[in-house]
Amino acid sequence: MPTSRAPSLIPRPAASFSIHPFDAPLGAEISGLDLSQPLGDEDFRRIRQAHLEHHVLVFRDQRITPQQQIDFSRRFGRLQIHVLRQFQLKSHPEILVVSNVRENGQAIGLGDAGHFWHSDLSYKERPSLGSMLHAQELPAEGGDTLFANMHLAWDTLPDALKNVVRGRRAEHDYLAQYAELQRRSPWRPKLTDAQIAEVRPVLHPVVRTHPETGRKALFVSEHFTTRIVGLPEDESRAVLDQLFSHSVRPEHVYRHRWQPGDMVFWDNRSLIHLAAGCPEHHRRTLYRTTIEGDVPF
């Protein structure tokens, strides 16, 4: 009886996809790639390199299942589970549902995700390498996501501010804006003691080094960064406010206008992002996976 060759030994032909950089401070579109199909190693290396170069990749017209999104995400590293487990996709805990939809009076997802500029999971000892967000249902109006290039923010920071923050560390705290978000919206549940224990404040460099490219980037955000260690409280707040304002100057920002089937993959080591919001009566649902990164240095 003839035997078949092991699938792993069969060379997989390269996919004929294109990479189109945006006319923006970051970002590129990937077209002609179907992520529901197996991806060969050479194609994966090409995508990984594009991600490092452009910081945001937009995969157009992706008809993929939650499991396929998880499998593709895992190619980049271990996945992280969000502390708000009540908003996990049923049977797929690796996926956080980002949604303003209610069913039977209950929110099915995190409706106010991204209300403040932030880098995902910067409040963890090992913050996120990157996040993938796949559009499921998009609003007819609004719903854009903004990304700010934190490499450019550092490169263009005035020397006086660079001298103040170089070599310093800052505190990142998941709870920093939590009470404010609870006040503003009905989607933020009360945290249990166990959940609070998962998100104890951590210290990270104000200026981090990208572990794969070696580039420097600011690593602070209005959502999670509470103070700069070693500075008086008033000075710390004044410096952080200047860093926040400088980071999101228009020349550092790309605005993503979602299209059906988009999956967006961004680098949390290089960027911060913001959800621009949409009218409450427009339904919006996306699925997010988050990839674990390294301890910042």
Q: 56, 257 in Cβ contact below 8 A?
A: no
Supply 92's token pair: 């797929």
CA distance 105 to 22: 41
| 118 belongs to the catalytic site | yes
| 151 belongs to the catalytic site | no
CA distance 69 to 288: 9
Catalytic position from the list 82, 172, 269, 273: 273
Residue by residue, DSSP assigns 74-126 as: HTTS-B---S-GGGEETTEEEEEEEE--EETTEESS-TTTTSS-B-TTTTSSS
Phi, psi at residue 157, to the nearest 5°? Answer: -70, 135
Catalytic position from the list 51, 172, 246, 288: 288
Residue 179 neighbours by CB under 8 Å, 6+ apart: none
Catalytic position from the list 112, 120, 173, 262: 120
Residue by residue, DSSP assigns 35-74 as: TTS---HHHHHHHHHHHHHHSEEEE-S----HHHHHHHHH
| 288 belongs to the catalytic site | yes
Q: 179, 190 in Cβ contact below 8 A?
A: no
CA distance 72 to 27: 19
Name residue 291's amino acid: I
CA distance 167 to 44: 35
Q: 52, 250 in Cβ contact below 8 A?
A: no
Q: 61, 261 in Cβ contact below 8 A?
A: yes
| 115 belongs to the catalytic site | no
Catalytic position from the list 51, 82, 115, 118: 118
Supply 32's token pair: 């002609």
CA-angle at 195, arms to 191 and 200, nearest 5°:
110
Would you name the residues annotated as active-site residues? Answer: 118, 120, 273, 288
